[in-house]
Every structure is written in C-alpha cells, then in structure tokens.
Structure 1
C-alpha cells in the first residue's frame, strides 16, 4: 500500500515569500511611484529614454526591496560593522585618489566607477543601531559620544569632497538613531539654540555677510553662495538665483488645480533647470497645482507615519532604531527637496523620493524600503 502525497499548488508555495509584507507601506509607495511615472513622462518627454530608464530604475528598486525584505533583521545587524567599515575605507580612498568631476572629488574606480558616500546613507543608521543594541540597558553619556564620533567621521569626509546634500542625508540618518536611542534633552537644546541664533544673525546681517570677500571659513564658497542666493535670489536672477526663481514661478503658476498633464509651459519651454532630477517638484506642481501637491504630501505622510509605526512595534532595539532612522531618511529627502525648490532652503543635490530621476538614489530607496518591510515582516511572522 503506497501513500499518496498531494503536492501543494504553486500559489501555496509562493505565499510564504509574501507573508508579512506591509500593505499600508506598499500602498503609499505605489501612490508615489504612480506620481513619479506621470511626472517623468511629462518632464522627460524630450530626454530620449529617460522615462523608460526611470521605470527600469523603479523595477530595480522594487527587486532590491523584495530581496532585502526576505532577510531577517538579525542578519542585517551582522552586516552593520563590515558595511560601515567598507564605506569609510572607500571614503578615505576617494579623498586620496578619487575621481574629480565638476570640481567635486566624490567617485572612485573599483572596476566600475562608484560614489561611496551613497553607501553611508544605509550603513550609518545600521552601524549606530548596532552600537546602541550592544549597549542596551547600560547606556552612558560616553556611549553617545562614541556614536557622535562614528557619525562625524563619514560626514566630515563627505563634506570635504564637497557634497553638502549627501552629507546632510547621512547626518540626518545618524542623528535620528541617536535621538531615538534616548539622547538627553540637555544635549539637544544647546545645538538647536545655537543654530537658531546663527540663522537669525545670517538673516539680519545678510548684506554684510554675503558681501564679496567675506570668508565663512567653515563653508566652501559655493555653499556660502547657495545660502546667500536663498536669502535674496533677485541679486543674480540669471545666474545663481535662476534655479530658485524659476522653481517658484512654476509652483505659483500651477495655481489650485494645475495647468494639466503635459501642459506645463515652464517645464516644456525648458525654463525649469534640472526638471527631471532635483527640480522635478516644480514641474509636478505646475501641472497638478495645489491639489496635486496636497495629494503628494499626503502620500509621503502615509509613508512616514507607517514607517514610524513599524519602528514603534519592532521586536528589538536594533530594529526600532533602524526603522526609525530609515523613515527619517525618507522624510529628509522629501522635506529638503520640496524646501529647496520652494525657496525656503538652500539648493542642494537631494532628489525627491520615487519622483526624481536617478539610479543610485532609487537603489538606496529600495534598500530602505526593504529594511522596513523586513522589520514589519519579522514582527508579523513572530505574532503568527
């Protein structure tokens, strides 16, 4: 007598792979992907294969997210120290013999040309989350000092390249971990007060501080020019202030309902610089108006709140800190990009998540989403 075994169907065999995927997070991302494809089709209509490349980058990011989501958070923790060490070593190599383009030394050839600073966007929160996980239950002020040093080394190397945009993203990711780990308020308030005073002084004495020949010392000349251009873009409307002025014109001309899909004159007449990358929010705003902007912001809010919810319910301190930091990376991307295009922040090279064109940034976003999915999946599987 032989036993007969019924082989499970393909659907039942595949189902465990998707078990635990966070539906709310996936829904928010799909909304942003849809907005990104629409905007890229319009703003990149005369950029050859840019729309197709953007779609390919999104598929690559989705594949990376899917793969990383299968990796348990414990395995991610094992990769923290090697990834951070490799990233810092490559940054040192860039400083010694990196490739210089347009006055910035940010790349290195390791068989293929890469930008090591991108690695630190994920490696930095991984490393700090690993550090605080090891110190759980016995945190001392010295532990926060060590974390600050771990953060300051790569941020300093990236700023030296110079790359203000990436250094801000890495700094924000690291500070988010340190804050969520329980940084005392007495250590938070003084830097905030100093920063507020510095901004007030810069705004109040803008004409003197932005005069030719005044050296800001801690900032490169181009960084000083970006701050001064933000304060008064009309001083050089056809030069350094052109980006901000055209961005604000495009946003304002969209009105409440927008000019309509493929109807943006500022976009299609090529008044908006970098309309498929850093300034794509201006192209989106012109065609979809205030209503479209509110819908886009709502999608980002859903993404961020869902990420924070995943962080709040994560099983371990490492997972909580990592999920919180990754979520704040998405927030920083969106806030800085919208702020610089709207003229409330200096212009830096920060893309708008899932909207702007760029393969490297899309890979980073895919990694971040995969990490959030992995942490959410681990919690759901544990509950089941």
Structure 2
C-alpha cells in the first residue's frame, strides 16, 4: 500500500530542496568574497534567500488545478507592470527596468520569466497536442508581447530569456519540426533588420566587443578582458577563498552580480567551476525527473520549461563572463546578488513541486 512521507504530505521534494540549499550556501560564501567582505550584502542576500524559500514552500502547497485556472492573472499583472515601467520606471545605468513602491525596488521583467511558461502551459495543456498552427501563433503572441515590452526598457537579454521560457513550453508540447525550421530561417533573414533598426548602439558595441575585445581594451572591452583574466588566473585549483587578485583589487566589474562566476573561478579554479556546474546539472536533472512524474500535461509542460529555462540562465551567464556570448546582464542563478531574481526562481521551483510531487 502506498504511504506518503512527511515531505510528500507538504508537497515538497527533499532532494531538490537540499540541492538548492547547498547552492545558496555556496552563493553566500562567494558573495562574501566578491563584495569585499561586505556584511550589508551578505545580510540582505540571506534575507532574499529566506523570503525565497518561504515563497517556494507556500507555492508548493497550491493545487495544480488552481495554478492552471488562474495562470492568466500573473501574466496580465506582469504585462501591466511592464507597461508601468515604461512610464514610471526607475532608471539606472542607462536602462529603465525597475519599479519602486514604498521604498522597495523590484524588476517586473523577472515576474514574466515565470508567468509566461505558466500561461503557455495552461493554454497548451488544455489543447490537443502537438499544437496546430493556430495554437502556435497564439502562443507566439503570448511570448512576443512581454518580450517586446522588456526589450523597450531596454533589456535584450531578459527579453530573450522570457521568449526562451515560452519556447520551451512549445517545444515540450511537440512543436513540429517544420515550424521550428521556418522560425529559424525567418529569424536568420531578419538579422539585418534587427541590427539596423532594433539594436541600440551599446548593444551593437557588445556584439562587436565579443568578436574583438582587444579593440578597446580600456573601454568596451575592459569587462570581458578582466573577467577572462580572472578565470584564466585561477588555473585548476584556484588561488583560494578571498585570495583572488582581480576581484579583491577591484579590476573585475560587477563582481557580486553578473560577473560573480569569474570571482568563483579565480578562487576555486576549473575544478570548482566544474563542481558548481555539476550541482546545477543535478538540480536540472532532478527537476526533469519530477516533470516526468507530473500527473497531467500542464504539469509536465510547466515543470519541464522551468527546468530548461533555469539551465539556460546558467549557460548564458557563464558564456558571457567567459567571452563566448555577448554581455547581456544575466545573473548567475541563486549565486549572484539580487532579490527579485532569487524570489522569482524560488517561486518557479515552488510551482514545479506543486504540479509534480505526488499528491495521492
């Protein structure tokens, strides 16, 4: 006879929670070094983690049927907040991406990283799959609208990640190969128009810098040169915790946020980076395993897209810091400093457990 353990009664997956706690512990350790032993950043990050875990535990108690039924609500609220950012947003570093309410600043685009796959999973999960062209076009509209609003902030990196989170739902729903091939050819044909009319000058410069960072060593190429230098100087074993020169001597830009993996690589070397990547793969693998156990198509689509999108965040951040991808301002999940990103990711893991952990 089937018997639940106490964690299943709370709709929680203990292996996934332990892996996330381990990742957060590593994040605190690296942040303490990257922020020059700042107690301020450390305490705030601990608060972010605590809030994130509470959000995850509460969200895990929600019924999958409730999530599917009310999926439109967070999607609609997210769109309204993105529109509000364009008119009332708080600017920083040439971008207007935040809203400030009661002294609290948050980034609405982070909400859409969860709201878009939730909306698409609810929409497609109720249809006959694989989706027909009619449903594919409707899903594309749901993906393009928030991505376009985020791109206007401008935040091209987050816009692409939001689009990717929706694409994974379509992919897992059995999107036909001819649709993917057609979309790929159309995207390639649109690259010249994209370059001429949609990209800002600084975004074009980031792509050119990726191709030749040495062309402007003290300007646009500074960030990537310093980050790759930090990564290379760590060698196999690294220099030791808080012993990195690039970060401790302030050569490395944004060491506690987007470029924190460079700090980790310099201090713990390639062996440490491979171990961290292995931890990320264990988390993604556990999420995909849980996705297979979901009782309906909505749960499988939602959980699978959350897992794959999480992995894309890791690849994009590591790729941009190592000079493989353009710098797009994507934090390293659950390691980089930042409250909105952490809470949103934990919200996603909570939804994953809500639809996947056995509730018999």
Instruction: Report the equivalent of 1:131.
Output: 123
Correspondence 1:159 to 2:139:
no
Match of 1:9 in 2: none
2:336 to 356, 363, 382: 356
Q: Which residue of 2 aligns with 1:90?
A: 81
Q: In 2, Cα distance between the equivalents of 1:269 and 1:128?
A: 46
Deviation, 1:145, is 0.6
- Deviations, residues 126-171 of structure 1 (Å, cap 9, x unaligned): 1111110222358421100110011111111110110112112211
- Kindly provide the CA deviation profile for residues 168-219 of structure 1, in whole angstroms up to 9, marking residues without a partner as x: 22111111111111110111124445667899xx9xxxxxxxxxxxx73221
Note if contact 1:45-1:51 (Cα within 8 Å) is conserved in structure 2: no
Stretches (4+) displaced over 6 A:
196-199
Residue 63 in 1 paired to residue 54 in 2?
Answer: yes
The answer to which of 64-73 and 15-24 deviates more is 15-24
**2: CA distance, partners of 1:46 / 1:16:** 36
1:371 to 344, 351, 358: 351
Q: Is the 8 A contact 2:130 2:174 kept in 1?
A: no
- Tell me, in whole angstroms, the C-alpha distance in 2 between the residues paired with 1:18 and 1:354: 26
| Aligned mates of 1:179, 1:344 — CA distance in 2 | 25
Mean CA deviation greater in 276-285 or 172-181: 172-181
Distance 1:359 1:114, change over 3 A: closer
> For the Cα contact (< 8 Å) 1:22–1:376, is it kept in 2?
no
Alignment partner of 1:381: what SS? coil
Match for residue 119 of structure 1? 111
CA contact (8 A) 2:210 2:325 kept: yes
Does residue 54 (structure 1) correspond to residue 34 (structure 2)? The answer is: no
Q: Deviations over 1:17-76 (max 9, x none)?
A: 754422331232123112112111211234341112112211111111111111121121
Query: Is the radius of gyration larger for structure 1 or structure 2?
Result: 1
Name 1:178's counterpart in structure 2: 170
* Cα distance change on mapping 1:53 and 1:138 into 2, 3 Å: closer
Match of 2:69 in 1: 78
Give distance in 1, aligned partners of 2:71 and 2:37: 42
- The structure 1 residue matched to 2:179, chosen from 153, 164, 187, is 187
Structure 1 counterpart of 2:218: 238
Distance 1:137 1:159, change over 3 A: closer
Question: Which deviates further from its counterpart, 332-341 or 22-31?
Answer: 22-31
Does residue 87 of structure 2 align to residue 107 of structure 1? no
Q: 1:56 to 1:250 in 2, by over 3 A?
A: same
Equivalent in the alignment of 1:317 = 297
Task: Measure the CA separation in 1 of the matches of 2:112 and 2:164.
Answer: 11
Task: Give me the whole-angstrom Cα distance separating, in 1, the residues matched to 2:32 and 2:130.
Answer: 53
Q: Which one is further off, 107-116 or 316-325?
A: 107-116
CA RMSD of superposed structures (Å): 2.2
Q: Which residue is equivalent to 1:144?
A: 136
Gaps of 5+ in 1: 1-13, 203-214
SS in structure 2 opposite 1:217? helix
Q: Hey, what does 1:223 align to over in structure 2? A: 203
Q: Take 1:97 and 1:37, find their aligned partners in 2: how far apart are those partners?
A: 33
- TM-score, scaled to structure 2: 0.92
Higher mean C-alpha displacement, 280-289 vs 28-37 = 28-37
